[in-house]
Amino acid sequence: MDMVFNKLQSVYFSKKELFNTTLIMLYGFAFMKSVMDHNMVLMWSLVYIPTLFYVWHNIDTIKKSFFKWKRILFSFGILFTVGKILADKAFNERFEIEAQYLQYSSNIMAVIYAIVFGVSIIFLIHLIPHLLRLMVYSVIGEFSTKYRKKLTTLGFFFKLIILIGLATPFFTLAEYAEKPAAPYYLLADAYAVSDCGPKVDGTLYLRKNNQACYAIQGVIKPIFKTIESPTSK
């Protein structure tokens, strides 16, 4: 019996592969169970434990990739331009402010958009080939021990989790930055002295169009009130 098992193990699994496969199955089961039970603490712990481990062991490589200034600046310039257009349109749709009255606020949101777009592109560049390899290895692995072994490597399995862990903070930032934080960006374009109305303590003005303005009260939780103001310099 032992001889049969040892032969089977040598053909299909090495001890390392058996350990890796068992760990992958247990990790996958724990992750799916945490999702089904809505246990967010466990779920994100399972995502960020390998992510932080990867970052800690590859910090030098990450730094080298991050500091490729020429490529980053060129790409960021394109993404910022796209982000600026989208930011102007987003503020116009939500707050009915014409683009000519926006400057700093739309630039702030454009920077956030650019960062998120960049991370999304990098995420997809790594994710799509990984998923394609997973599909190919799964099919070919039925006929080839070489590719079957690739599926049982911890690096192959945890790469997807690490990608999710690295990208999630930026996607969370995008979700928060687009709506909850947007009113605070507008404070950058609001002024106490304006042709919208007389100077009043605790009130800032931001022109919407040539017929109306926002009178903004409060900074911690700004309140926007539309006022008529047909004159504009």
Q: For the residues of 185-209, what is the DSSP string, one character each?
A: HHGGG-BSSBTTB---TTEEEEE-S
Backbone angles phi, psi at 227, to 5 degrees: -125, 150
Query: Is residue 85 a contact partner of residue 113, using CB atoms and an 8 Å limit?
Result: no
The pLDDT value given to residue 152 = 57
Q: How many residues does the chain have?
A: 233
Q: pLDDT exceeding 70 applies to what percent of the chain?
A: 72
Query: Is residue 162 a contact partner of residue 122, using CB atoms and an 8 Å limit?
Result: no
**Angle CA 228–232–233, to nearest 5:** 160
d(CA 188, CA 166): 30
First to last CA, the chain: 93
The predicted model gives 150-172 an average pLDDT of 71
d(CA 64, CA 210): 50
Q: Name the more confident of 69 and 153.
A: 153
pTM tops 0.85: no
26 sits in which H/E element = helix 15-36
In our burial notation (b when 16+ CB lie closer than 10 A, e otherwise), range 59-74 reads eeeeeeeeeeeeeeee
For residue range 166-224, list pLDDT tens digits in order: 778 777 777 777 778 888 999 999 999 988 988 889 899 999 988 999 999 988 889 99
The predicted model gives 3-9 an average pLDDT of 41
> Which structure tokens are listed for 175?
């979700």
Range scoring the smallest mean pLDDT among 9-23, 105-119, 127-141 = 9-23
Range scoring the smallest mean pLDDT among 56-60, 149-153, 180-184, 209-213 = 149-153
pLDDT of 27 higher than 60? yes
For residue range 79-89, list pLDDT tens digits in order: 888 889 999 99
The predicted model gives 118-142 an average pLDDT of 75
